[in-house]
Amino acid sequence: MKKVTAIFAIFCFIVCSAKAQTIDSSSYYLNAGKTARTERKFLSASKLFEKSISFNNKNIEAYIQNGLVNLDMKRPSIAVSFLEKALALDPKNIEVISTLSLQYYNLRKYNEAINLARKCINCENSLKIIGMSQYALQDYTSAEKTLLPLAASTNDAEIIYSLGKAYLNREEFDKAISYYEKAIILEPAKSLWLYELANIYYNKQNFESSLLCLEKAVAAGFPQSLTLKENMGFTAIEAGQYDKGEQLLEEVVKLKTGNKSIYFDVAIMLYQKGQFDRSLKYCQKMLEADSLNARALYQAGLNFQKKGQKDKGQNMCDKAIEMDPSLERLRTKKEL
């Protein structure tokens, strides 16, 4: 009996020693991995953390560290897999919840991000992740409810911009403008935000502010396409900056050699602005390119009438109608 007891004791000692050695090995590789990560040897660190896990598959810290080092290597999907394993072992781990919910958001897994962030509502950025995920899911009412108190208590430009964008998508333009302006004060180099604000101002017929935002967007690096230049040109004309607008649109026409319709749009806009001589100039450009352009001739006639040369203008309109009888319907309106 004593012999059996002694053998059992030896067995327990061996098992416990082996277990302790395994845990020690896991800790050794964990610490080695942390050192390698500090030295920015990320791939080596990841392999060391995996070695640590092989010795102890319940080493939560090793899973967390492997997740973090994979984030360092810009491998978010792999990082998430390790963080999920850590969460399964410790569902209340604040570091894991905070990091994993952010990664879910970055990977556009918005429902998962919301559900996880709600498990630690006091964790850093949890409300931000919830609100921005709600916005991304087009739940603008919930996003407003979550982001509004944050926007009032923080200088986080991304939160303030997201709230403005939610109002924009709900077509509450005045509220959108307020939050866009606040966000841009905090982040003046955000060219996309400036461009979006310019469009809101344009829709509100605040053309001066729209043009200013477009110019700031270009200065901040927004891509200078022909479409942008064309938009800036028409906005400048709407803002009463006629020389600037005409110059920009002339540059567009030089590149869009097959598209002369811009001239007609400019002529109409200048006519509506009371710039009859300027409008006539573009009517003339169209008629030089096509002497049978009835619409250009009719618009020229309207300009002459507005300039006080009624007989000349009326004759031109009559001739235009002879060329294109469909213009007859415009006679009573005296415009195109």
pLDDT at 256: 81
Place of tokens 């007609």: 264
Domains: count for the chain? 2
The per-residue pLDDT for range 80-103, each reduced to its tens digit, is: 999 999 999 999 999 999 999 999
pLDDT at 15: 41
User: Has residue 81 been placed in a domain?
Assistant: yes
In this prediction, residue 23 has a pLDDT band, given cuts at 50, 70 and 90, of low
Number of H helices, E strands in the chain: 18, 0
User: Has residue 268 been placed in a domain?
Assistant: no
Check which CATH number belongs to the domain holding 37 and give it.
Answer: 1.25.40.10
Q: Are residues 85 and 27 in the same domain?
A: yes
In this structure, what token pair is assigned to residue 81? Answer: 């897999």
In this prediction, residue 17 has a pLDDT band, given cuts at 50, 70 and 90, of very low
In this structure, what token pair is assigned to residue 85? Answer: 């394993």
The SS3 of residue 291 is coil
Averaged pLDDT, 203-208 = 96
pLDDT at 145: 97
Beta carbons of 286 and 265 less than 8 angstroms apart: no
Place of tokens 């082996």: 18
Q: Are residues 23 and 64 in the same domain?
A: yes
Owning domain of residue 141: 120-187
CA distance 298 to 287: 11
User: Has residue 131 been placed in a domain?
Assistant: yes
CA distance 56 to 288: 84
Cα atoms in the Cβ-side hemisphere of radius 13 Å centred on 294? 13
Among 132, 153, 187, the domain-final residue is 187
Averaged pLDDT, 129-155 = 96
One-character DSSP codes across 152-206: HH---HHHHHHHHHHHHHTT-HHHHHHHHHHHHHH-TT-HHHHHHHHHHHHHTT-
Among 187, 214, 232, the domain-final residue is 187
pTM of the model: 0.81
